[in-house]
A and B are shown apart, each in its own frame.
Chain A
């Protein structure tokens, strides 16, 4: 099971759907919505699986400051996928 060392809080309403965070994420745990948009009509990123390392790549590359990054005090094992 993949250890999860960090997580993000995402300001979905600030996102303009540019996709830069998706390729920037080393563990590839971000993915854009495909059927849902925010109130200004843009797709936004989702944390689709455990494995975030809290590396800040997403927050540093985001032009719209949509990410807050946290590191867990202890790495976690998160059961996945959930039913």
Chain B
């Protein structure tokens, strides 16, 4: 391999494709039209959405997938995707998805919402959809802050977590306790599959992808409501350095919102 000089350092060249190698992962998967976006450095949401659209592509369900997006930072990323996207009112994505699925039962219907959208603004929407056993998949991108408005506390912010209005950490006496939405939904009778993943390292990204595949498979089999909560990094809203955010997620966020399959599916060893 050729080398080049960057600054004062000799490194291996990474500006052109090698002749004697096979491409195993492209810049973007086929359903992400444009990789460039305006989300902050170190944001976990593009990683999570990439995993979801790669699952849809692997399932061969691209042409019949209809996604419903809530309101949050990730909403801007919907423009980059080559799948059908409907824009819901704040918190109302599960209800819109219910209508879509009932009119188009052959479609693969998923919602993409943040914790502010799903758990603060529209908690009753997702709970009622789960209780009714709607045959849709709801994906929650949970970073414990209202990222789009500057990093304020949400209902999933864990005790001790830094946000814009809890710079010393969430205090139970002052701010109350977090809602463990994944566990709440897993307790609903209409829920066929519920899991909580994360995108803070490559292992958890792969594990989360298996959870998304299991949720979509649950919907395809017509078994009822499926739900995947994905813990994502928000170094801007957490007021920490980007390189600290994967460990902060593991130590602080996942300490309360524990990663694993919560209900249904083939539970991999160690995922409970």
Contacts and interface: CB of A to CB of B under 8 A. Distances in A.
Interface of A: 4, 6-12, 14, 16-20, 22-24, 33-36, 42, 46-50, 54-57, 59-74, 76, 78, 81-82
Interface of B: 1, 3, 6-18, 20-28, 32, 35-37, 39-47, 50, 199, 201-202, 205-206, 235, 242-243, 245-246
A51 to B, nearest CB: 10
A18 B242 contact: yes
Contact of B8 (A10, A35, A78): A35
Contacts of A54: 24
A60 B26 contact: no
Contacts, number: 139
Contact of A82 (B3, B37, B44, B50): B3
A49 B24 CA distance: 20
A45 to B, nearest CB: 8
A59 B15 CA distance: 15
A18 to B, nearest CB: 4
Nearest to A26: B202
Contacts of A22: 243
A68 B167 CA distance: 38
Given A48-B9, A60-B206, A67 B25 contact: yes
